[in-house]
């Protein structure tokens, strides 16, 4: 199955699922969540015209080349009085423009005369350096569309409108399972033949960044009964996410558990790393079985699980932004699978980590992102390749 077909099937399944409930959260609690309804501006922004500069507010038409009398001083946070003809006002950035004024001149372009009047060195264009009422946002406008992921900027914008709470989709409940008799948790002694469970920490943090609630099932032993018992026990979750045990080994049980007790939707993609990715349903709960190799876990989670999770939570944009960069390598022997190399951007070109073995997580720590190398196609140095920055994938 191609990467595109798998992604399409996953997104279709996410969209067909019953919509998640919503909840109202304070701006502080809403970080990383998905807006469940459009944010409509409750007021004009700015609510009243204010000065963009430290200088003098005036009516541009008053300037017939003669100096103006400074009749008031307006600090930000104070209220001005209407401007009389022949007057101008000393004004500071952010302060309200007095009624009757239509422009502001910077103090650098004004000469203060001995008698306190000011003469304007430069011609003044009506409207200059004034931030008009509703110049940024008009009351009733849709400021953030439903499906927007709420980060610092979106939350700041909501605050600028006086919003204290936002409607967001509830957290997706994701059961996280690490399979493998060889696994132990960091902190335990490493006995012969054991390795530390890194996928669990990788995915816990990643799921947390995506706004998910984690039901951590820890490590499952490699036996069918344990896998089926665990899958069967998970009723109240939106997704079962497992790592390991999805290839063709005699200790790989996830596929069998799905075939016997649930539904195996698809298995094996034309992707490297991540070929044995498995997707199915068990007792009505979607099950995503990621490969155990940590780099495979990372690539399949980033490119396939993450879009499913975001779409399931109602995010308008589920897929990461990517862009073309010149390949800093050649690729004379293409394979039959789409490859995602962990690569750095060096002098604007994509340079892959020396060892692309899918068990090497450190390649991702070293890299800036993934370079997509298409199946069956050779590459010469300098050819454009699609680059997906980790800054996109990991958030």
> Shortest distance, CB of residue 332 to ligand LQZAQKY5, whole angstroms?
22
Position 273 contacts ligand LQZAQKY5 (CB under 6 A): yes
> Shortest distance, CB of residue 53 to ligand MOO, whole angstroms?
58
Q: Which residue is nearest to ligand LQZAQKY5 (CB)?
A: 292
Position 302 contacts ligand LQZAQKY5 (CB under 6 A): no
Half-sphere exposure of 122 (CA within 13 A, CB side): 14
Alpha-carbon distance values, 367 to 115, 297, 322, 335, 360 (Å) = 66, 16, 15, 22, 12
Q: Which residues of the chain form contacts with ligand MOO (CB under 6 A)?
A: 272-275, 291, 293, 296, 358
- Closer to ligand MOO at the Cβ: 211 or 274? 274
Q: Which of residues 342-371 bind ligand LQZAQKY5 (CB under 6 A)?
A: 358-359
- Closer to Mg ion at the Cβ: 187 or 193? 193
> Shortest distance, CB of residue 278 to ligand LQZAQKY5, whole angstroms?
8
Would you call 184 exposed, middle or buried from its count of C-beta atoms within 10 A (0-12, 13-18, 19+)? middle
CA–CA gap between residue 288 and residue 300 (Å, rounded) = 10
> Shortest distance, CB of residue 331 to ligand MOO, whole angstroms?
16
CA–CA gap between residue 341 and residue 138 (Å, rounded) = 46
3-state SS track over the chain: CCHHHHHHHHHHHHHHCCCCCEEEEECCCCCCCEECCCEECCCCECCCCEECCCEEEECHHHCCCCCEEEEEEECCCCCCCCCCCCEEEEECCCCECCCCCCEEEEHHHEEECCCCCEEECCCCCCCCCEECCCCCECCCCEEECCCCECCHHHHHHHHHCCCCEEEEECCCEEEEEEECCCEECCCCCCCCCCEECCHHHHHHHHHHHCCCEEEEEEEECCCHHHHHHHHHHCCCCCEEEEECCCCCCCCCCHHHHHHHHCEEEEECCCEECCCCCEEEEECCEEEEEECCCHHHHHHHHHHHHHHHHHHHCCCCCCCCCCEEEEECCCECCCCCCEEEEEEEEECCEEEECCCCCCCCCHHHHHCCEEEEECCCCCECCCCEEEEEEHHHHCC
- Closer to Mg ion at the Cβ: 218 or 249? 249
> Shortest distance, CB of residue 8 to Mg ion, whole angstroms?
27
> Shortest distance, CB of residue 288 to ligand LQZAQKY5, whole angstroms?
12
Position 44 contacts Mg ion (CB under 5 A): no
- Closer to ligand LQZAQKY5 at the Cβ: 154 or 222? 222
Which of 22, 103, 169, 243 lies at the binding interface for ligand LQZAQKY5 (CB under 6 A)? Answer: 243
- Considering only 82-90, 210-218, 240-248, 370-378, which stretch makes contact with ligand LQZAQKY5 by CB under 6 A? 240-248
- Closer to Mg ion at the Cβ: 360 or 371? 360
Position 292 contacts ligand LQZAQKY5 (CB under 6 A): yes
Which of 247, 293, 296, 300 lies at the binding interface for Mg ion (CB under 5 A)? Answer: 247
Which of 249, 335, 382, 384 lies at the binding interface for Mg ion (CB under 5 A)? Answer: 249
Position 335 contacts ligand LQZAQKY5 (CB under 6 A): no
Position 222 contacts Mg ion (CB under 5 A): no
> Shortest distance, CB of residue 6 to ligand MOO, whole angstroms?
13
> Shortest distance, CB of residue 251 to ligand LQZAQKY5, whole angstroms?
7
- Closer to ligand LQZAQKY5 at the Cβ: 200 or 311? 200
Residues that bind ligand LQZAQKY5 (CB under 6 A): 178, 180, 182-183, 195, 197-200, 243-249, 252, 273, 275-276, 291-294, 296, 358-359
Residues that bind Mg ion (CB under 5 A): 247, 249, 252
């Amino acid at each position: 199955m191609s990467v595109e077909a798998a992604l399409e099937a996953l997104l279709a399944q996410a969209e067909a699922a019953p919509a998640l409930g919503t909840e109202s959260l304070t701006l502080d609690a809403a970080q990383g969540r998905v807006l469940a309804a459009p944010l409509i501006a409750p007021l004009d922004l700015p609510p009243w015209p204010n000065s963009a500069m430290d200088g003098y507010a005036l009516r541009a038409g008053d300037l017939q080349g003669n100096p103006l009398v400074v009749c008031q001083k307006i600090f930000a946070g104070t209220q001005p009085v209407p401007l009389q003809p022949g007057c101008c006002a000393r004004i500071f950035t952010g302060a309200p423009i007095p009624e009757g004024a239509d422009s502001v001149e910077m103090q650098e372009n004004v000469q203060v005369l001995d008698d306190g009047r000011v003469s304007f060195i430069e011609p003044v264009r009506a409207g200059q350096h004034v931030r008009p009422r509703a110049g940024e946002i008009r009351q009733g406008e849709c400021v953030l569309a439903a499906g927007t992921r709420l980060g610092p900027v979106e939350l700041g914008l909501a605050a600028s409108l006086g919003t204290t709470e936002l409607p967001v989709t509830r957290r997706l409940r994701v059961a996280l399972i690490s399979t493998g008799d060889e696994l132990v948790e960091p902190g335990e002694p490493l006995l012969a033949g054991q390795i530390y469970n890194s996928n669990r920490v990788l995915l816990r943090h990643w799921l947390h960044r995506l706004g998910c609630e984690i039901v951590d099932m820890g490590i499952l032993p490699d036996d069918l009964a344990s896998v089926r018992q665990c899958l069967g026990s998970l009723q109240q979750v939106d997704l079962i996410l497992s790592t390991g045990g999805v290839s063709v080994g005699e200790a790989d049980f996830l596929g069998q558990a799905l075939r016997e007790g649930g539904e195996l939707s698809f298995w094996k993609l034309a992707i490297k790393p991540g070929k044995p990715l498995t997707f199915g349903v068990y007792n009505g709960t979607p099950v995503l079985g990621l490969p155990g190799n940590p780099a495979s876990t990372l690539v399949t989670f980033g490119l396939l699980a993450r879009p499913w999770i975001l779409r399931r939570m109602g995010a308008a944009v589920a897929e990461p932004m990517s862009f073309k960069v010149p390949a800093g390598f050649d690729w004379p022997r293409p394979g039959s699978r789409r490859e995602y190399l962990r690569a750095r951007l060096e002098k604007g070109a994509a340079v892959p980590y020396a060892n692309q073995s899918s068990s090497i997580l450190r390649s991702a720590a070293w890299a800036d992102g993934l370079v997509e190398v298409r199946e069956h196609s050779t590459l010469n140095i300098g050819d454009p390749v699609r680059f997906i920055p980790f800054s996109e994938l990991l958030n």
